[in-house]
Amino acid sequence: MMTYNILDNGESREAYIVDVIQTAAPDVVVLQEVFTEEFLQFLSRSLGMEYCFGAGNKQRKVGLLSKLPVLSFENHHPLFPIWRNVIDAKIEYASNKTIRIIGVHPIANPGLPWEVWRYWEARYVAKLVTKYQKEFCILAGDFNAIAPGENLETGKLTDWHKWLYSLQGSRAYHFSISMLLSAGLMDCFRSLNSEKGYTIPPSDPFARLDYIFANARIAPCLKKCWIVREPESVHLASDHYPVIAEFNFNP
User: Which CATH number is 230's domain given?
Assistant: 3.60.10.10
61-66 vs 50-52, strand pairing mode: antiparallel
pLDDT value at residue 213: 99
The whole-angstrom distance between residue 15's C-alpha and the CA centroid of its chain comes to: 21
Question: What is residue 111's three-state secondary structure?
Answer: coil
Domain hosting 147: range is 2-247
H-only helix segments in the chain: 14-24, 37-47, 112-130, 159-167, 175-182, 188-192, 234-237
pLDDT lower than 50: segments of the chain: none
Quote the CA–CA distance of 200 and 240 in Å, as a whole number.
Answer: 5
Sheet holding 2-5, edge to edge: 50-52, 61-66, 28-34, 2-5, 243-247, 222-227
pLDDT value at residue 109: 87
Q: Domains in the chain: how many in total?
A: 1
pLDDT value at residue 251: 61
What is the amino acid identity at position 37?
E
Quote the CA–CA distance of 139 and 97 in Å, as a whole number.
Answer: 18
Report the chain's terminal Cα–Cα distance, integer Å.
Answer: 20
Quote the CA–CA distance of 3 and 102 in Å, as a whole number.
Answer: 11
Quote the CA–CA distance of 226 and 195 in Å, as a whole number.
Answer: 10
